[in-house]
Amino acid sequence: MQSGLINEVDAFIGSLRARGRSERTIKTYRSILTRFIDYLTVNGLVPDRVTAQDIDRFILELSKLGWEQNSLFTAAVAVRSFLKYLGHSIDYPLPKRPTRLPKYLTREELARLINACQDDYEKLVIGLLITGVRVSELVTIRVSDINIERRSVKVIGKGNKERVVFFADWLIPLLKRYLRQNNSEWLFPSEANPDQHVHYVTIERTLQRIAKRAGINKHVTPHMLRHTFATLSLASGLDIREIQELLGHSSLSSTQIYTHVDPERLRRKTDEFYRSLFAPRW
């Protein structure tokens, strides 16, 4: 039974890839579903007879192993989606997902990060990540996607949705110099095989090395720079719907969390509100 289910997982993963899901999501789902198959096998269960209680027990096992709430939510989504793919649409309420404010860098920390870069490659990584792109979008940028005159880059986001982001003018001379030495169709080719793009883990490690040099005592990730772009651009005056477009969010609710992040911005806004009322008489 297990080998048959593994084949079904492979087919499900293929459907995710066909719908443009990121390699990170695919890797996560495969890991979760491999555990789920083991759970079914040990308990003598088959997918079309799985109940909500069975999924609860599986999620509880993961919780006992120390999985955090966000990871448990992802596991429940993966299992429910897999069962639906197999034709078993089960009414299973997802676990509560904790709401956490996004972590981001301050302007001063971002400047330190850029100043700690040692070459054009590292500066390009930082400069393009702070346009709001996901790391999965960054690694798949082709040279042909870049329009230097317009300072724009075409990226392919979730669900194969295409959008355009814009980079800072200080990247223009750097980008021209970098492209003269790049013979690959990819902006960031793999060192091992220039016909392939770099792996996202390589970008993550590059970013961590730069952050260490900069003396930033935060776990700096590509997604933190995406949060940094959203937070600082909102504070600079970009409209929330404009930021939604640049981030590639399908729903405005995904973008609205950034309106609650920057305490300094909230202080300024409340000060403006108080001044607009009336001058106190005491």
Residue 112 has pLDDT above 80, yes or no: yes
Q: What per-residue confidence (pLDDT) applies to 17?
A: 86
Specify the pLDDT at position 122: 97
Nearest to 1 by CA among 71, 49, 60, 72: 49
Interatomic CA distance for residues 52 and 32, integer angstroms: 17
Of residues 33 and 91, the one with the higher pLDDT is: 33
100 or 32: which leads in pLDDT: 32
CA pair distance 54, 43, nearest whole angstrom: 10
Which residues participate in catalysis according to the annotation? 134, 158, 223, 226, 249, 258
Q: What band does 280 get if pLDDT is binned at 50, 70 and 90?
A: low
pLDDT at 100 over 80: no
Is this prediction's pTM over 0.95?
no
- pLDDT range class, residue 282, cuts 50, 70, 90: very low
- The predicted-structure confidence for 126-185, as pLDDT tens digits, reads as follows 999 999 999 999 999 999 999 999 999 999 988 788 999 999 999 999 999 999 999 999
Residue carrying the six token digits 């792996």 = 199
For the cut 80, the answer to whether the pLDDT of residue 260 exceeds it is no
Top-confidence residue, 3 or 169: 169
What is the mean predicted confidence (pLDDT) over 197-207?
A: 95
Quote the CA–CA distance of 170 and 252 in Å, as a whole number: 30
Share of the chain above pLDDT 70, in %: 93
